[in-house]
Amino acid sequence: MHLWIIPLLPLAGAAINGLLGKRFARGLVTTIALGSTALAFAMALWVAAQFAGLPPDQIPHIERYATWLGAGSFSADFGIYLDQLSLVMLLVVTGVGFLIHVYSVGYMEHEGGYYRYFSYLNLFMFFMLTLVLANNYLLMFVGWEGVGLASYLLIGFWFLKKSAADAGKKAFITNRVGDFGFLIALFLLIKHFGTLQYDSLWPLIGKYPIESGAAGLLTAIGLLMLVGATGKSAQIPLYVWLPDAMEGPTPVSALIHAATMVTAGVYMVARSHLVFNRAPDAAMAVAIIGTLTAIFAASIGIVQTDIKKVLAYSTISQLGYMFMACGVLDYVGGIFHLVTHAFFKALLFLAAGSVIHGLGGEQDMRNMGGLRKHLPYTFWCMTIATFAIAGLPPFAGFFSKDRILWSAWSNGYRSLWLIGVITAGMTSFYMFRLWFLTFFGDYRGPNPEAAGHAHDAHAGGSHGHGAPHESPMVMVVPLIILALLSFIGGWVGVPHSLKGSDHFDAFLSPVFHAPAAPAEGAQEQGESTTELAFTGISVSIALLGFLSAWWLYYKRPELPGRMAKAAGGLYTFVLDKYKVDELYGAVFIQPLIALSLNVFWKGIDRGLIDGAVDGSAAGAREVSDEMRQMQSGNIRSYAGWVAVGAAAVIAFMVWRGVR
């Protein structure tokens, strides 16, 4: 199918714009960047149509192009592995990616470095497509590191600001910590299986029994992969980079730090399902990490006042749900939530970006309010997205989140289910809090003239801001499309308990070699009724979240402040994100720098080694002062030393040899 064209299209766009874009008119830059992405999306659709026609025994469809790296008996291809899982990812990445490219045209209109921005964005698309389409882990790692690079470049896009440059660096280094784990997992695979090619690996791994008693090789591999995934997908303990990553332009936050890149960890776990299926301890660790991250991040999200920070913590929390799903071995549920989340979270970020754009860079929700009159399209799109993430039917997020919670319960993880349900309530609460604070009440912003102090460095001043205003059509249309998807996107996976036919499950299940759907048609009715009851619970808790938010931020807006004051230290502690950054700084970073500077460099290198070297040199100088009395030429003295030294060594060796 010539699938290689898909990733190479955005790469070509990135290269052309990156090398020559400076001399291009903006229109040309836009055409190249959007054109390459649009073509990639069109080709993805065509591939999907072709894929539908493939007989089941030709799935996965594998294309090999060349050997990238071969040494000894090890080799890794440039090649593509297309199955249902990578097809879903392909469509999400190119589809959502294209919409965000379009939106960016409006958002970045007044920014310097326009060509640079689109070059990076295209580069990101290339690496992300490499990640999801690769036919071996090494090539996946290429994409994995590459998206990290694109993320670094885009977070630090406004590099004149120290906070942006800091955030980019932090993201890259934190991800590297995760990559360290991923690499070790790869080394274990190479050592024990001799290959990283998926199609050779799967049968080999498939021969291993389930490591239920003692943890073994697959458990180790699974845990190390999890380390990698916690970096890329911002899970405990490596999530700290994602909130800071909001320094990047908002469309970047939508594409990279919400819809696509951060889900790479989930994709990797799902791709490695054979490992996790056989390593219950590793899968359990995935589930626990995911669940804890979900509730932990949600709790921080409740108190944040920066609109993007709320969404960032919400992303971390929702990614936690996906990990929870994979950990309880409901990979389909994880990927389902990945897809719906890509729709509604991209929409939330883009709508937030539209708000920020409309307010000339304002990101603090305390300075918003009443915006539904000024930004009607944005308001309605945001509303749909909020309902979707809150898990209210029939919006997309409802179906996927409900499925995950049900899987957790029905697979016996009841405590995880409970935490998940509580998190669902918190999610609904902080999202409606955001919704009320932003769009209802009265506008609390400064008078229009003063608006324009860029938080986002999104220079508002350049196009004279008056009152809050709706964004241009090029930004609104992507919002509307995503809103549509956030509304109906879940309908592909309506569970059987709700009289649906769950196409999504039927489509993806073959990848995971699982029988389709836990509640397959003719299964006992009781199960289905229980599932329905649990759906009721999730919906009620979401409504509860809505009502509390309504009470606190609409009906009685003076209450939250008083509550915060009553909570005192606890409130500031949560507002300060539990001071985890400070903890890491004090425990890891500062000691490491102090150790390197004072002990290694000044102590060992300069003091000990150079001290010894210079000391013996000084000693030698004294001796050679004596020698100078006898010797005249420098060269001869060197030669003499050489001879004497050599003779001494030889004498010693002969003595050793004789003995």
Partner 1 sequence: MNFINNNILTIVIFLPLAGAILLVFFPRRHRDIRYFALAVSLITLLASLHLPWYLVRGQSGFQFERNIPWIAHPNIHYHLGIDGISMWLVILTTFLMPLCVLISWNSIGDRVKEFFILMLVLESAMIGVFVALDLFLFYFFWEATLIPMALIIGMYGHGRKIYASVKFFLYTMIASVFMLAAILWLYARTGSFDFVTIQSMIQGGQVPGFGNAALWLFLGFFVAFAVKVPLFPLHTWLPDAHVEAPTAGSVLLAGVLLKMGTYGLLRFNLGLFPDQARRNAPWIIALAIIGIIYGALVAMVQPNIKRLVAYTSVSHLGFVVLGIFSFTQLGMDGAVYQMLSHGISTGALFMLLGMVYDRRHTYDINEYGGLATPMPVYATFFAFIMLSSVGLPLLNGFIGEFLVLSGAFQARQLYGILAATGVIWSACYLLWMYQRVFYGAVSNPANNSLRDLDARERVSLWPLAIAALVMGVAPMLWLHSIDPAVAATLRQFSSAVQAHAAHAPGSLVRADFTRNGMQALLQVIGR
Q: Write down how long the chain is.
A: 659
Does 74 participate in binding partner 1 (rule CB under 8 A)? Answer: yes
Binding residue for partner 1, selected from 10, 95, 106, 156, defined by CB under 8 A: 156
Tell me: does residue 353 bind partner 1 (CB under 8 A): no
Binding piece for partner 1, criterion CB under 8 A, among 31-39, 190-198, 321-329, 504-512: 190-198
My answer on whether omega of the bond before 376 falls inside 30° of 0, hence cis, is no
Q: Is 627 in the site for partner 1 (CB under 8 A)?
A: no
Instruction: Write the binding mask 50 to 69 for partner 1: x where contact by CB under 8 A, - elsewhere.
Output: -----------------xxx
Minimum Å distance from CB 525 to partner 1? 43
587 scored as a contact of partner 1 (CB under 8 A) = no
Cβ 292 to partner 1 shortest distance, Å: 21
CA distance 218 to 276: 8
Taking the C-alpha atoms of residue 416 and residue 424, their distance in angstroms, rounded to an integer, is: 12
Nearer to partner 1, 42 or 190 (CB): 190
Residue 586 interacts with partner 1 (CB under 8 A): yes or no = no
Assess 578 for contact with partner 1 (CB under 8 A).
no
Counting contacts by CB under 8 A, is residue 191 touching partner 1?
yes
Cα separation, 546 vs 543, whole angstroms: 5
DSSP type of residue 209: P
Phi-psi region of 523 (alpha: psi -120 to 50; beta: other; left: phi over 0): beta
Hey, which residues between 288 and 347 contact partner 1 (CB under 8 A)?
none
| Residue 625 interacting with partner 1 (CB under 8 A) | no
Contact 401, 409 (CB under 8 A): no
Nearer to partner 1, 532 or 649 (CB): 649
**Nearest-approach distance from CB 656 to partner 1, in angstroms:** 6
**49, 52, 160, 522: which one contacts partner 1 (CB under 8 A)?**
160
Residue ranges in 601-620 that form contacts with partner 1 under rule CB under 8 A = 601, 604-605, 609-610, 613, 617
Smallest separation (angstroms) from partner 1 to the CB of 284: 14
In 3D space, the residue among 235, 201, 233, 199 whose CA is nearest the CA of residue 217 turns out to be: 201
Residue 157: CB minimum distance to partner 1, A: 11
Output the six-digit token pair for 375.
Answer: 């930004």
Strand partners for 136? 197
Q: Which of 184, 537, 543, 564 binds partner 1 (CB under 8 A)?
A: 184
The verdict on 210 binding partner 1 (CB under 8 A) reads: no
Interacting stretch for partner 1, rule CB under 8 A, among 32-40, 301-309, 373-381, 592-600? 592-600
Residues in contact with partner 1, counted by CB under 8 A, come to a total of 71
Q: How far is the CB of 207 from partner 1 (least distance, A)?
A: 13
Contact 460, 453 (CB under 8 A): yes
Inter-residue contact 305 to 364 (CB < 8 Å): yes
Instruction: Select the residue interacting with partner 1 from 53, 57, 162, 412 (CB under 8 A).
Output: 162
- The binding track of 218-237 with respect to partner 1, each residue x by CB under 8 A or -, is xxxx-x--------------
Taking the complex as a whole, how short is the minimal distance between the CB of residue 245 and partner 1, in angstroms?
15
The backbone torsions φ and ψ at residue 197, rounded to the nearest 5 degrees and listed phi first, read -75, 130
Considering the rule CB under 8 A, would residue 588 count as an interface residue with partner 1?
A: no
**Whose Cβ is closer to partner 1: residue 117's or residue 429's?**
117
- Residue 352 in contact with residue 389, Cβ under 8 Å? no
In angstroms, rounded to a whole number, what is the distance separating the alpha carbons of residues 348 and 354? 10
Show contacts of 299-304: CB within 8 Å, 24+ apart: 299/426, 299/574, 300/574, 300/577, 300/578, 301/426, 301/427, 301/430, 302/426, 302/429, 302/430, 302/433, 302/574, 303/564, 303/571, 303/574, 303/575, 304/575
> 3-state secondary structure string, 168-207?
HHHHHHHHHHHHHHHHHHHHHHHHHHCCCEHHHHHHHHHC
Is 117 a residue that touches partner 1 (CB under 8 A)?
A: no
**CB neighbours of 399 closer than 8 A, spacing ≥ 6?**
336, 340, 393, 490, 491, 493, 494, 495
